[in-house]
Structure formats: C-alpha cells, structure tokens
Amino acid sequence: MFMTTIQGPAIFLAQFMGDQAPFNSLESICRWAASLGYVGVQIPSWDSRLIDLEKAAESQAYCDDLRGRVEACGVRITELSTHLQGQLVAVHPAYDLMFDAFAPAHLHGNPAGRTEWAIQTLKQAAKASRNLGLNAHATFSGALIWHTVYPWPQRPKGLVDAAFAELARRWRPILDAFDEAGVDLCYEIHPGEDLHDGVSFERFLKATGNHPRCRILYDPSHFVLQQLDYLQYIDFYHEHIKMFHVKDAEFNATGRSGVYGGFQDWVDRPGRFRSLGDGQVDFKSIFSKLAQYGYDGWAVLEWECCIKDAEQGAREGAPFIRERIITVTEKAFDDFAGGAVDAALLNKIIGL
C-alpha cells in the first residue's frame, strides 16, 4: 500500500472571524494563523471579508491575486467551505425559520428560491476551487428526514429510499459540476445531516450512482458524540476520505442524560466538543491509520469548545497537529537484511 505524509497543520477560519483585528480581514487573520505555526487555511466561502465566491468562479485573475495575498502572509489555501450553503440544498420545512439566516435576506421565507440559490452557489464553488488550484471542497448534505432519525412514530415503508433519491437528485448536478472542475466534493458526516454515519453515506453514494466526486470530510468528534467506532470508520471508508477536520470531543453519559443530551446547553451535555488534547479522541491512532491508507490531504484544525478560549485553542492546535503528523517511511525497517531479487533463489525456496 502506498503511504503518504499528511499535510498541515492548517486551520478552518470560520470560528475565528470577528469584528476586531486580527480576525476581521483576510490578510490579518492569515498572518495571525502563520504566527501560530499553521501553514494552511481553510476558507469559509460565505464570509465576504475572505472571498467573493461569485468573482472567484468567474475570474482566474481574481483567484491568482487572492492566492498570492494569502501566500504572502505565510500560509496556503487548503480548501474552500460551503457548509452553510450546502445545508440549504435540502431543508425540511420544520427547519425553515432556523436556516433562513444562512441565505441572503431577500430569500428569507422563500424555501424554493433559497434552495435554487444554494445549488447555484455550490456550482460557483466548484469553479472557484478549480481556479484556486484546489482538489477538494467541504460542505454539508442538508437533511430531508433528520426529524425521523429515531423511528417513532415508525417510518412509513419506502420513506428512506424516497428521501435519499430526492437528496441525490438535488446533488447530482452539483457533483457533476465538481467533476467537470476536477474537484472532490467532501460531505462532512455530521448529526443533523442526512449523511451522519457510514450507512447513510453509503445510501447516498448508491443513490448518486456511485458518483466519483462524492467524498467524505472525516471529523472524529461527531462520531464520539454518536458512540460510533471512528477508527474502524477509517478502515471502512478510507478510499472516500479526502478531507480531515482535527476536532476533539468527549462523551460522559450519566444516569440523567446520554446521546441525545436532554436539550441541555453544550457545557452540560454528556457529549461535547473540546479543544485538541482535552477530549477523548485517539488522534495518534487516527493519524497512523490515515498515513497507512495513503491520505495525502490536509489536517485542518476545527475549533469548537464549550470551555476553552478560542485563541488558546488555536495556539495549542498547531503544535498538537504537527507532533502527530507522521513522516512516512520510504523503506521497510528490515531492508538491511535483504538483497537483490534472485529468481533462482526464489524458486528454490518455493520448492521448484
């Protein structure tokens, strides 16, 4: 098996953008990230302070300038993200009011228009990624039947198949646009999305006709909260994993609350996200497995912690990731005891 060294450390900028310097402009936040030891930044495409997605889709010159501005600060663009826009590709009416804020104001209260806008935005993201020289893109799948995840009342027969057929129908033109651009579309497998575990990803992949650009953004924190084996997940799906969010989490069930969390705030939930090193995720084993299977993408910090300050988490994150990236070996440890291939010797050992 061909092994490769993971790239990084990188940082997802979404949770760090703000109104105060250095978090309020592209150059200042990129210089801040570089000062902490990051070598890459993942850019949320919905923040106009970082990127004009429509212009990036149309103008190679704009993308060349954007890439140059970022690299002049000491980091590279790793990927673009359309998590918020991807969510709007498929929204059940029960969530219309809460997800309206993800769309432009003129589309609030217009679910059909919002969905069409999201689809077109994803297609722009495919072109923008190509123009920036990127090979992977991050998004959410959206959800049509998340409200039925626990089957009570029981799901009518055929509901799941019908929902995944519709989800695939909406996403296939987007996947085709990413295929035309030569970019993998990586769905973050995430509770709240119809793609929330391995089986649901398999259902969607099959519904898309095993589309070659349908890929996975692997984030073990979401599997800790579901009590899913996040290491075996890599064994099952490593061929599909093209992006990696390095995010920690913990799960401490009590006699009062478990996986569903009792509607509590994050700090009081049994399952909660933590800064790197403060949770329960076995990152040593994750980095080993990804290296073993030849993952050649980026290790990107996504910070979401209900206890620790974001800036402290970012400072600690770069060395945490760097210390766990494995420089893969180019030779076997016992090569010293071997020799050149000798066909006659091999035949003798075999008994021929």
Look at the block and give the residue holding tokens 């953004």: 217
Q: What is the pLDDT of residues 127-150, one digit of tens each?
A: 999 999 999 999 999 999 999 999
CATH number of the domain to which 106 belongs: 3.20.20.150
- Any domain includes 168: yes
pLDDT of residue 329: 76
Rounded CA gap, 11 and 42, in Å? 6
Dihedral angle of Cα 186, 190, 196, 197, to the nearest 10 degrees:
80
- Any domain includes 340: yes
pLDDT of residue 113: 98
- Any domain includes 2: no
pLDDT of residue 332: 61
- Any domain includes 337: yes
Taking CA atoms, 5 is separated from 197, 215, 328, in Å, by 26, 20, 6
- What's the structural domain count of the chain? 1
- Any domain includes 245: yes
Rounded CA gap, 47 and 294, in Å? 32
pLDDT of residue 51: 98
How many other β-carbons are positioned within 10 Å of the β-carbon of residue 302? 23
Structural domain range at position 30: 7-350
3-state secondary structure of 73: coil
* Phi, psi torsion values for 179, nearest 5 degrees: -65, -45
Counting beta carbons within 10 angstroms of the beta carbon of residue 98, is it exposed (0 to 12), middle (13 to 18) or buried (19 or more)?
exposed
- In this prediction, the residues of the chain whose per-residue pLDDT falls under 70 are 1, 331-339
Regarding beta strands 184-188 and 76-82, do their DSSP bridges make them parallel or antiparallel, or are they unpaired? unpaired
Sorted by sequence, the CB contacts under 8 Å of residue 120 that are 6+ apart come out as none
Which one, of 128, 132, 142, lies nearest residue 177 by Cα? 128
Look at the block and give the residue holding tokens 């209260």: 109
- Any domain includes 145: yes
Contact predicate 223/236, CB 8 Å: no
Angle among Cα 230, 267, 311 to the nearest 5 degrees reads 80
Rounded CA gap, 205 and 168, in Å? 8
